[in-house]
Structure 1
């Protein structure tokens, strides 16, 4: 949690409740909205001594950091950092397709460290200290900076495969934060409901300001463009930053960002429906068809049924309980984060949760972190049509309308990616039914570059079709944004 001397907005000390049993999240199926599987953390260099080809470079200081360790590395991408101990593969497990290549040959400086904080959910490097960050400065710099917050409740290396590897190979400096709290009990950080999520926004703002100064010190000039990007909760951060601190950024790419609105839709307006209705659908019998129809009405798209079993087993229940505990801890009294997979009708069961019926204080807690659509810089949003963790009709479709209602439509391009889902690792399981989102994110990023430089306006907002007969290898490397669904 941010200490009081940094901001008076957030305070620590919410009373600890009786712990409940948290559902296990498998390594292979970790979702970007959910916490990562446990594993041994990567270790930082013991003495922080620079080495490698940039040993003679003056190593910049991160303003405001309580601790930092810098190292000169022959490679800043995961092709090298896994071996050197400058990333943690568990942070990004389950987020990208298995065969996604990792670029090589990007030497430069990596700085690991943390800002002052009073919580200790992040065990990375053995520091047991939150607000950890990583900053990477390639020797060959293109003048730009990319900043990102982690998806779900993962740590600072969660974007290393999906984002960091690729932008570093294109010459960008890169910075990422753990958002100030991590793991499935992130909601324990803070005093008031909503504090833990509100800190995410403050931490990305803090990192962006610090990283811009680090870049200026390293390269002797400020970044010519600063781009925010991220997926899932990281996409939410992009939206919030462009609404609240557009002065820090030139633009952003929002990859299936989580939508927070006090009036809904939000997680709590569709997840309980899945918890109530999926078991009846899966059981078959006379009630199955009505249960399926209820799922569709809640936003889970027709044709996504093949994804429902894994999401019920791993994602929906845990997501509902831990985020509800953050926003509405009083719903289940002294119990912490509810009862896993409780049957409807059980006292304080999350399957029966009714957002509209909750007290105004609960809605105000969500309002503290809510989005408005009032973006101040160019934004490209993309989301898969088969996302069943954040159904597209309840998320990005709604956010795009919010932006237009706020009078900011000229600053938005929105691409609905046909057959994309929330977690790209599922493409390996269903290669004939899904397409990976990561190449679409890269196409969107390139489109934003052209938009910011004035070289080319991105295609208008539309649904990007999956080319008929495209094989998995092609889909892994290409996502032309001009493949428009018509009719």
Structure 2
């Protein structure tokens, strides 16, 4: 194999949205929390042994490297990650664990799209697999939030699970960037590919783990945030045989009848300008935003989300699922005024043709999970309002008769993107420690060490300082 071209990571026309579709017990951010699964010892043969013999089933290209450090404490300098891919997803003071030597495999599966420019490959369906020398017997797989690439979870998820001894694998989902909708031949193809690619990677990563450690993983867990959380839900509904459980961090909800992005974002675009302008119509516009699902108390987040998230997210996901709405125009007109032809502020999903609803149905969730799932979402999520997303999905799971497999935690004052905690430290709490608490709770649940607490709203501790909120999130 040709060596990886480590630099530069070329990102022409990169997305403006950071992480858009996008995401138990006291949680410590130390490398090895007290509740960590015990390590099972050094990998057979020592540091990086057998690297040349590892083969990723189905890969069109792969490059295996022996690294002294698999976390971002080392991979940033060595060129085995891309900080631009995870920028904006975590608080700036989040600690980085270290001391995880092992093998990293980068590569890609056969694909025809070329949006991912990492390593100069210009090839989608890229993946990364990390195999620590000191392995705990488990595998964690993840898809990326938003339209990001395979390193997007490195700070929020990979560093921490690698430090706990897990092997780790992630995929770019088969298409990237804000023009992801150009991939595929029919509406919904690009998003449907995300699910296929995570299934493909999970099967391949399980095989690579067995090659490296001479036995298959004892436990395979899926996790991810935002669009990555959607993938967790879909995988546990459609391929539960591949996983032992999952943690869904504010996953995106898709349902043929709604609610979903295309039902509440147009209302945000329609009413926010009047709210922001003040005057006699502001109060009613604010009430309309609340009726659309954007929670009371989240108003301080609305200006940022209008400028960065709502408009672009609506237009590109609508283009993916309903390209005919604006005719030959690609992904609409940014910040158009209601009444403008083809304006997304006027989009009415309920009145769109049946073909559009069928496109959404192709990627829809059902709630019929087949393995334990822990879902968490912030009450101040202002991209995916909790009342239109995880509240609904939890009801779907119970209606499908799978409630015993779900624990759902609403995190008071959590929002969609943890970097906003740095901007509003007195109003928001970071979600990343809550995700880690949920992950530990899932480990204990699967090990038979006790079922997690029943789903509830996790209150923000009164008087908790910034350091406490960054390092703990007891789920009760």
TM-score (norm 2): 0.91
1:98-247 alignment, distance < 5 Å: 98-247=92-241
Match of 2:323 in 1: 329
Task: Flag structure 1 segments of 5+ consecutive residues without an equivalent.
Answer: 1-21, 36-51, 483-487
SS in 2 for 1:110: strand
Q: Is the Cα–Cα contact under 8 Å of residues 229 and 252 in structure 1 kept in the other structure?
A: yes
Kept after mapping to 1: 8 A contact 2:220/2:242: yes
3-state SS, counterpart of residue 341 of structure 1 = coil
Q: CA deviation at 1:53?
A: 4.3
Number of matched pairs:
442
Structure 1 counterpart of 2:378: 384
- Where does residue 31 of structure 2 map in the other structure? none
1:66-85 aligned at under 5 Å gives the runs: 66-85=60-79
Q: Deviations over 1:151-204 (max 9, x none)?
A: 010000000000000000000000000000000000000000000000000000
Partner of 1:3: none
Q: Residue 424 of structure 1 aligns to a residue in which SS?
A: coil
Please name the residue that 1:9 is paired with. Answer: none
Task: Give how far 1:23 is off.
Answer: 10
Structure 1 residue aligned with 2:416: 422
Separation in 2 of the partners of 1:23 and 1:362? 28
Name which of structure 1's ranges 266-275 and 53-62 shifts more when overlaid on structure 2.
53-62
Output the CA distance in 2 between the equivalents of 1:387 and 1:417.
Answer: 10
1:89-141 CA-partner distances (Å, limit 9, x unpaired): 01100000000011011000000000000110100100000000000000000
Distance 1:269 1:65 in 2: 38
**Contact kept in structure 1, 2:51 and 2:64, CA below 8 Å:** no
Partner of 1:25: 16
Q: What residue number does 1:86 align with? A: 80
Cα distance in structure 1, aligned partners of 2:152 and 2:118: 12
Higher relative contact order (CA 8 A, sep 6+): 2
Q: How far does the alpha carbon of each residue in 1:325-377 deviate from its partner, in whole angstroms, 9 at most, with x for none?
A: 00000000000000000000100100000010101110000000000000000
Contact 1:24 1:314 (C-alpha < 8 Å) held by counterparts: no
Give the alignment's Cα RMSD to 1 decimal. Answer: 1.4
Q: Structure 1 247/348 Cα, relative in aligned 2: closer, same or farther at 3 Å?
A: same
Unaligned regions of 5+ residues in structure 2, if any?
1-12, 24-45
Change beyond 3 A, Cα 1:56–1:68: closer
Query: 2:407 and 2:111 mapped to 1: Cα distance?
Result: 36
Whether contact under 8 Å (1:215, 1:222) holds in the other structure is: yes
Distance in 2 separating the partners of 1:418 and 1:249: 29
Superposed CA offset, 1:10-62 (max 9, x none): xxxxxxxxxxxx99727xxx234259xxxxxxxxxxxxxxxx94266554110
CA distance in 1: counterparts of 2:276 and 2:364, whole angstroms: 34
Question: Of 444, 454, 459, which aligns to 1:465?
Answer: 459
Question: 1:320 is matched with which residue?
Answer: 314
Tell me the secondary structure at the aligned position of residue 394 of structure 2: helix
**Residue deviations 1:307-337, cap 9 Å, x none?**
0000000100000000000000000000000
Q: Is the 8 A contact 1:23 1:318 kept in 2?
A: no
The equivalent of 2:290 in structure 1 is 296
Change (3 A) 1:23 1:353: farther
Match status 1:348 vs 2:342? yes
Contact 1:148 1:228 in 2 (8 A): yes
**Distance in 2, Cα, partners of 1:59 & 1:286:** 71
Give the secondary-structure state (helix, strand or coil) at the position aligned to 2:392: helix
> What is the CA–CA distance in structure 2 between the aligned matches of 1:25 and 1:305, rounded to whole Å?
22
